[in-house]
Chain A
Amino acid sequence: MKTKNLRNDVLELLQRNARMSDQEIADRLRSTPAAIKALIAEMQKDGTILGFSTLVREDGKSGTGKVKAIIEVAVQPERDAGYDRIARAIGNFPEVRTVYLVSGKSDFQLEVVGDSLQEVAEFVAAKLSPLDGVRSTATYFLLKKFKEAGFALTEEEKHERLKVVP
């Protein structure tokens, strides 16, 4: 029970800041850096932690200028493989960053990244739509991000507290 709580606490902190040091995590949770290091390694090994990535403000100065689209895909599930084979087939394209099976009108929801609008449109027309089992697609280009992965991308005016209060 205790290690399970520790695992969850470590995951929570890493999801907020993947660069938090073993030392800081240990200090926050009254553990030791060695124990935290071992726990993270264990979670990478057992597949709990898939990896660490960096959130980049793409419209910003140092942004990558990449274009992102949400694509809904309706498919024909297969008799013995259900959605699995086709999900793999879609996910194998490097342009596809996420593949979710979702409830609602369509079956899959994808996140696709490309260098330009044309490139993403090309991908949909030439690679995604012709796939076996794909019945239809709907593409939504992202125009502006307001919040991503829990981080607000628009600055709110900060309110200053008094410097000393009882």
Chain B
Amino acid sequence: MSVSKLSRNHKKIQPRGRVAEHIRGLPKSGIRDFFELVNTMDDVISLGIGEPDFVTPWSIREAAIYALQKGFTSYTSNLGMLSLRKAVCRYVDDEYGAKYDPVTECIITVGVSEALDLILRAILEPGDEVIYQEPSYVSYPASIVMALAKPVPVATYEKDKFALDPKRLEAAITPKTKALLLNFPNNPTGANISLAQKREIAKIAVKHDLVVLTDEIYSELTYGKMEPTIASLPGMRERTVFLHGFSKAFAMTGFRIGYACGPHELIDAMMKIHQYSMLCASSVGQSAAIAALQDGRGEMLKMKKEYMQRRNVIVKRLNEMGLTCVMPEGAFYAFPNITSTGISSKEFCTRLLQEKRVAVVPGTAFGPSGEGYVRCAYAAGMDEIETAMTRMAEFVQELKSGKKKAK
């Protein structure tokens, strides 16, 4: 058969819909669209970046270089280097008040991203439901769908400082609810919850026998009191998987190191998927992570202090321009309410970008309940924040005076 004939035949029998249905139905991240738009423009000040503007502290980078020099470039144990797991478990005990056995109850992963994917795939069966708070990190609903389960968002509100309302949570629970996914301090709202609020949620989880997945990636960046994790509360240890990593507080996003701590049964199930799909996290990254826990604390606290001061400034500026904004208690995001401008989040962001060259992310990228809000990341230098706020104030001013004129 000639080549042309073959290809003609091939065309004829080309099957439609090679992509699995649940993936076809998956929306592209709203942030992605916005990213494409921003990338076509010059001279943009971006408060759209959900990662530290700091470079990884030198002592950590230096440890990574040393690991390379020594030729430490092979696979590690599937669970991750034991020395790192030991350091992680000590850290989780000291900082968050939860004790885990480094040999059987801890796994090192490729960021929290992989850890979350593993635990979802490990526990979910088709038809299961997972409740998560909304507005939420963009990956949550998609990750749940990819694990063949149903994402069930529970909206959180500005009036509650974006804490999860236990009544709403309980109302969303059905016999199919398998797990509850929490993220405090929160991306995109910056909200945190108190120990008392954690207790209430824990009670509900125990009552309905839910697995709780707590994504505490921003936990060091807590500007109020640091309190124990929900995993440490009575009845929670056996049902909670504590997810954390090095990306945010230690400014190590590109190293891709995270971890999960939890009861052996769940960690072991995660380990099975991980050993076939990932083998292990990067060995250089793991060496850097050990250095972060050994002597990265001082630098981490310096970055935290700077974030906190930027938060104070950005919230003040937002309020001065007439936007209400809950004082974020953690992470590096401010989530102002823009409904007073009379336009949608998406229009606000698109026009702010086009008219003033400032990028912030529409609240709707984090779920429908984000309508009326925008996310301003203050992981940017103070000068950039000040300039962005000046431009945004002009924009808001123009919108509001234009609206009056139109009347």
Residues in A lying within 8 Å of B, measured CB to CB: 24, 27-30, 159, 161-166
B50 at the interface (CB under 8 A from A): yes
- Among B44, B53, B139, point to the contact of A166 (Cβ < 8 A): B139
Known A24-B382, A163-B46, A166-B50; further 16 A-B contacts with Cβ < 8 A: A24-B313, A27-B316, A28-B382, A161-B51, A161-B53, A163-B35, A163-B49, A164-B34, A164-B38, A164-B49, A164-B359, A165-B31, A165-B49, A165-B51, A166-B138, A166-B139
Beta-carbon nearest neighbor of B380 in chain A: A161
A30-B312 CB under 8 A given contacts A164-B31, A164-B359:
yes
| Residues of B close to A165: CB separation below 8 A | 31, 35, 48-51
User: What are the 5 A-B residue pairs with the smallest beta carbon separation, nearest first?
Assistant: A28-B309, A164-B48, A164-B35, A163-B38, A163-B46
Could you list some 27 contacts between A and B, CB below 8 A? Answer: A27-B313, A28-B309, A28-B310, A28-B382, A29-B312, A30-B312, A159-B55, A161-B49, A161-B53, A162-B49, A163-B35, A163-B39, A163-B44, A163-B46, A163-B48, A163-B49, A163-B359, A164-B31, A164-B34, A164-B38, A164-B46, A165-B35, A165-B48, A165-B49, A165-B51, A166-B31, A166-B138
| Residues of B close to A163: CB separation below 8 A | 35, 38-39, 44, 46, 48-49, 359
Q: Please, how many angstroms separate the alpha-carbon atoms of A27 and B314 in the complex? A: 9
For residue B97, give the distance in angstroms from its CB to the closest CB of chain A.
25
Beta-carbon nearest neighbor of A166 in chain B: B138
Q: Please, how many angstroms separate the alpha-carbon atoms of A166 and B31 in the complex? A: 7
A-B interface contact total, Cβ < 8 Å = 49
Q: Please, how many angstroms separate the alpha-carbon atoms of A30 and B315 in the complex? A: 11
For residue B41, give the distance in angstroms from its CB to the closest CB of chain A.
9
Q: Count residues on chain B whose CB falls below 8 Å from chain A CBs.
A: 26
Most buried by A among B49, B137, B139, B187: B49
| Residues of B close to A28: CB separation below 8 A | 309-310, 312-313, 382
Interface string of B26-65 (1 = CB under 8 A from A): 0001010011001100001010111101010000000000
Contact A162 B313 (CB under 8 A): no
For residue B195, give the distance in angstroms from its CB to the closest CB of chain A.
24
Beta-carbon nearest neighbor of A158 in chain B: B55
Q: Please, how many angstroms separate the alpha-carbon atoms of A21 and B263 in the complex? A: 52
Q: Please, how many angstroms separate the alpha-carbon atoms of A10 and B49 in the complex? A: 28
| Residues of B close to A164: CB separation below 8 A | 31, 34-35, 38, 46, 48-49, 359, 361
For residue A29, give the distance in angstroms from its CB to the closest CB of chain B.
7
For residue A129, give the distance in angstroms from its CB to the closest CB of chain B.
40
Q: Please, how many angstroms separate the alpha-carbon atoms of A132 and B53 in the complex? A: 54
Beta-carbon nearest neighbor of B188 in chain A: A166
- Among B35, B138, B139, point to the contact of A162 (Cβ < 8 A): B35
| Residues of A close to B51: CB separation below 8 A | 161, 165
Q: Please, how many angstroms separate the alpha-carbon atoms of A161 and B53 in the complex? A: 8
| Residues of B close to A166: CB separation below 8 A | 29, 31, 50, 137-139, 187
Report B199-249 residues with CB < 8 Å from chain A CB: none
For residue B348, give the distance in angstroms from its CB to the closest CB of chain A.
15
Interface string of B127-146 (1 = CB under 8 A from A): 00000000001110000000
Beta-carbon nearest neighbor of B306 in chain A: A28
Beta-carbon nearest neighbor of B312 in chain A: A30
For residue A1, give the distance in angstroms from its CB to the closest CB of chain B.
16
| Residues of B close to A161: CB separation below 8 A | 49, 51, 53
